[in-house]
Structure 1
């Protein structure tokens, strides 16, 4: 409903001043009850009378009594102030901070989440699993999710324009191989050893195009093909079945959780790095959000997540995005 011409919204403070005087019928006692000076209380009552265009009290040197308009205002003032108190109580206990960890078992987001819970034990910080930053971005912008982890530079520019990020980690990449694959016995897999291979990197998954794009950039000019789109495997059993059926290695990170009849081998020469950021929608306000950002900065500093191997590889677009991220400065001696 639009405001009436010439009418300004009433300040609830004025109604609280009025109600205190109406209940005490004494300006000095009412001022003491509200912990304000009597002059300030009288000024608020006079202002309310001007804004309503009605005299609310009859004042004499000995008595304060309500006028007919004052009597009429009492129930309205109580309803307005009760509603305000109810609203403040509802938001006094913040809703949970919802943090997407992409997939169960991945270490980066999980370790940050655990530390954030230690820093803000009075707040509920809950994990979600959206399996891809592009998929999570839609939830972030809709307000159904507060933060996520992933490759910020791989998002569509239109999405990046509505999101902010804090760089967290250069995460070394790996390859998941069936146990019987010729490269499985190696402790590390040189990138050149994948020449001629077709590697699955989520092609066709609408929730993870940022990961497929990273694979294309890594494999370009190295004779490694990105596997064509395949049905999305949901659950360990389906993932294992499709791996056995296709025989394709799977591009992953070194912290990828082990699966039955597979091995995870770090990639080297060079060491490809997956850039991980904490990502959130611009303007996010939540009392636990600073704890999450601080946790990301603390864990990254202590674990050396910002350090790049001498032979590390990362696309220029990701390096530029990392340099433009919003840092969270900490003093580890105080944490």
Structure 2
């Protein structure tokens, strides 16, 4: 042990991040530090503890037996530090996943929370889907996310809580020359015979693909098979233009060049959006985020259901907001 009997929490956070990523480059990116500085902190911790914590090779990074032994202690120490700082108004940033950069509901909630508490640091992240974010929430690498809670695997839901925020009306994004593009709205039945992209094959958005399959079941609409997984808006738009498939979306989906977005009707399919967090989360910014979600839900009538609104069977049981 170090002569002073003291361990710098920064060194423990460096260790924990590398242990979670098992990759120094990714860990450095998460901590917003240079990889050289991160490696230096880990080596310093190893010297102070008098043991190797990682086995390093050109191909992989793995925990040693002592690294595995340190892991639960490091988590408890850092959780306690975060709770202490939060209690005295010095909380770390609250990491809020918005799914994707154009997600209007999540973005509006985050912006409202920043207005309510400008002294709090609420930082946006983009995991692309709630299924992808759920593992990050449970591991403590994210604090909150948004999406269809009922679409998560029950094993993931067991460690999470949610607050219903909005029933988002669904839409279809069509190529500009599509046979349905001239309509102001698109009846769901008019999609019969179409193959519609809904994220199939993307492990981060499984809850969305599941909702699409439930909506299309028995209506003669096919879910498009997996496409190359695009990273970034530009690549996504290129892949979609190349495939020519309509895209299942929500009414606030950001505009894409060469396409039109049309609300779905008869019925109006609804995608329930919840604020989702891990059980036991304590952070002053989080309570502000929940307040912002409640305020916007009420002010915008986000939880009103149209007369011909449609829910999947699994979402019906989640139709009561949690406060």
Tell me if TM exceeds 0.5: yes
In the alignment, which residue of structure 1 is the partner of 2:194?
197
- Assess if the C-alpha contact under 8 Å between 2:86 and 2:92 holds in 1: no
Q: Within 5 Å, which residues of 2 pair with 1:7-22?
A: none
CA distance in structure 1 between the partners assigned to 2:236 and 2:165 by the alignment:
28
Q: Which residue of 2 aligns with 1:283?
A: 280
Matching residue of 2:150: 153
Mapped pair 1:206 → 2:194: no
Structure 1 stretches lacking a partner, 5+ long: 2-86, 328-335
**Superimposed CA distance per residue, residues 258-307 of structure 1 (whole angstroms, 9 cap, x where no aligned partner):** 01111111000100000000000000000111110010000010000010
1:157-192 deviation line (CA, Å, top 9, x unaligned):
000010000000000000011111111111111101
The 1:112/1:190 distance shift into structure 2, 3 A limit, reads same
Whether the aligned pair in 2 keeps the contact of 1:178 and 1:243 (CA below 8 Å) is no
* Structure 2 unmatched ranges of 5 or more: 2-82
- 1:83-131, Cα deviation, whole Å (9 max, x unpaired): xxxx967974110011101011211001101111112121101111110
Q: 1:232 deviation in Å?
A: 1.1
Name the SS for the 2:162 alignment partner: strand
Report what 2:102 is aligned to. 105
Contact 1:172–1:254 (8 Å) recurs in 2: yes
Instruction: Give the deviation of 1:217 after TM superposition.
Output: 0.3
- 1:158-197 matches, cutoff 5 A: 158-197=155-194
For normalisation by structure 2, the TM-score amounts to: 0.72
Match of residue 234 from structure 2: 237
Q: Stretches of 4+ moved more than 3 A in 1?
A: 87-92
**CA deviation vs aligned residue, 1:49-95 (integer Å, no higher than 9, x gap):** xxxxxxxxxxxxxxxxxxxxxxxxxxxxxxxxxxxxxx967974110
Looking at structure 2, the residues matched to 94 and 123 of structure 1 have their Cα atoms a distance apart, in angstroms, of: 8
Counterparts of 1:100-139 in structure 2, within 5 Å, are 100-139=97-136
Aligned positions of 1:271-310 closer than 5 A:
271-310=268-307
Normalised by the length of structure 1, the TM-score is 0.70
Over alpha carbons, which structure has the higher Rg? 1
| Residue correspondences, number | 241
SS at structure 1 position matched to 2:182: coil
- The CA RMSD measured in Å over matched residues stands at 1.7
